[in-house]
Structure 1
Amino acid sequence: MRLQDLKGTYDIIFSLGDLCIASLKLRQNNLRPYAGVLDWMATPSLSDVNRLLKNRFIGFMDLPNLRIIGYAGEHYICVSDDAYHFVSNHDFEVGKNSLSHLGSYPEVREKFDRRIRRFLEKTATCQRILFIRTEGDLEEAKKLEKVLSGLVKHDFRVLLVNHTDVNGLVEDNWPLKKVCAIQLPAGNKFTANDHIWAELLKDIHIKQ
């Protein structure tokens, strides 16, 4: 799939990690009406995300699988989901939570359950969905396409962005029907590519 095939209007757009880059760019370009499940988590392995989606989020952030790592800055506790190898940096605020106890777990659990229900409802009912993922190789993308084909009832597309040693946008021509893969410069990837993201997303719209 090529970039031009992503243009058009979608019912919803979801980030699939690996950091918060996709969520930030969607928000900056007014394409994020509400939060997704993986928006603010570190999900470094696309293979683990594929497994999560195939499992329909079963076991995700379950308390027995959580491990407190340390502080994530001044305001949050860093927590690992060891079942899926994900890391939460923005869910457990200091105060109710400490390095020995997750006091706000019930509220965090409720938040994720709400986002999971919405995600599964949208994948079952929306006519056209766009997913955006940063970082992943061809084999992982093939598996993602297969998993989403079993999860999404109607049409979907995937924009997969890898950050590499390139000077600008490079479009890959992977032999996948539903995934468009590109490369963007890796240096300061949170902010330096804002103009490229704006160009990427200018012909993509959310149905009003």
Structure 2
Amino acid sequence: MNLIDLKGSYDAIYSLGHNCLAGIQLRNNNLRPFAGVFDWVGSPSLPDVTQLLQNQFAGFLEKSNLEFRGYASDKDLLVSDNAYKIYFNHDFKTNVNTPTNLAAYPEVKQKYDRRVARFKDKMANGRSLLFIRTQGTIEEITELEKVLSRVVKHDFRILVVNHTKVKGIVERNWPLQRVCVVELPDTGFGTNDMFHVNDALWKTLLSGINVTD
């Protein structure tokens, strides 16, 4: 699938990780009317994201699976969901939570339960959905497409954005029916610069794409 084939309107557009980049770019381009499950978490392991989707979020963010991993900043704890290798670095504030007492857990769980419920509703009822994943191999994306084909009831497409030593936007032709793959420059990748250094390229990527909700 080519980039031009993604152009059009969608009932919802969701980031599938691997970090906040896709969520930030959707927000910057007015394509994110509500927060998704993966917008503000770290989800570096795509196989675990795919497993979470296949499991319909069963066991997600269960307190028994959470572990304090350190400090994401002076204001945020870094907490992992070890069942799915999801990392929460914006949700557990240091003025409320401690490494041994996640006091805000009930509120955080309720927030994500709402996001999961909306996500599942869109998968069941959305006529056309777009999913965006940054960083994924052809093997990982092949499995993701298979799982989404089972859990999404209607039409969907996947935009994969990998970061490599390229200049500009480079399309890659992977033999997957519902997948468009592009590569962007890896300038600043792995640092905070990555969230904005390719803003102009993301604007080009997402031009001609609209969300109806």
TM-score range, shorter chain: over 0.9
Cα deviation code 1:18-56 (max 9, x no counterpart): 000000000000000000001111100111111010001
**Matches of 2:204 and 2:132 in 1, distance apart?**
15
TM-score normalised by length of structure 1: 0.98
**How far, CA to CA, are the matches of 2:123 and 2:32 in structure 1?**
16
**Alignment partner, residue 158 of structure 1:** 158
Partner Cα separation in structure 2 for residue 206 and residue 37 of structure 1 = 17
Q: CA deviation at 1:99?
A: 1.4
Q: Which residue of 1 aligns with 2:121?
A: 121
Map 1:128-143 → 2, pairs under 5 A: 128-143=128-143
Q: Which residue of 1 aligns with 2:199?
A: 194
Instruction: Tell me if 1:62 matches 2:62.
Output: yes
SS in 2 for 1:90: coil
Aligned to 1:4, the other structure's residue is in SS state: helix
Q: Deviations for 1:74-117, whole angstroms, at most 9, x for unmatched residues?
A: 11111011111111100111121011110000000000111000
Q: For 1:93-104, what aligned pairs fall within 5 Å after superposition?
A: 93-104=93-104
Structure 1 residue 84 corresponds to structure 2 residue 56: no
What is the aligned counterpart of 1:205 among 194, 207, 210? 210
Partner of residue 182, structure 1: 182
Supply the AA of the counterpart residue of 2:108: V
| Number of residue pairs aligned between Structure 1 and Structure 2 | 208
Counterpart in the other structure of 2:145: 145
Deviations 1:95-144 (A, max 9, x none): 21011110000000000111000000011001000000000000111111
What are structure 1's unaligned runs of at least 5 residues? none
Cα shift at 1:72 = 1.2
Structure 2 unaligned segments of length 5 or more: list them.
189-193
For residue 60 of structure 1, report the CA deviation from its aligned partner.
1.0
User: Could you say what secondary structure the match of 1:150 adopts?
Assistant: helix
Letter in 1 for 2:118: R
> Which secondary structure does the structure 1 equivalent of 2:91 belong to?
strand
Query: What is the identity, as a one-letter code, of the residue corresponding to 2:202?
Result: W
Distance in 1 between the 2:195 and 2:103 partners? 31
**Coordinate RMSD, CA, aligned:** 0.8
Q: Write the distance in 2 (CA, Å) between the matches of 1:168 and 1:202.
A: 15
CA distance in structure 1 between the aligned counterparts of 2:62 and 2:163, rounded to whole angstroms? 31
Distance 2:162 2:94 in 1: 33
Q: 1:114 and 1:45 mapped to 2: Cα distance?
A: 23
TM-score with structure 2 setting the length: 0.96
Distance (Å, rounded) in 2 between the aligned partners of 1:201 and 1:38: 19
Moved over 6 A (4+): none
Q: 2:148 is paired with a residue of what secondary structure?
A: helix
Aligned match of 1:12: 12
SS state at 1:160 partner: strand
Distance in 1, Cα, partners of 2:196 & 2:35: 20
Of all paired residues, the percent bearing the same amino acid is: 52
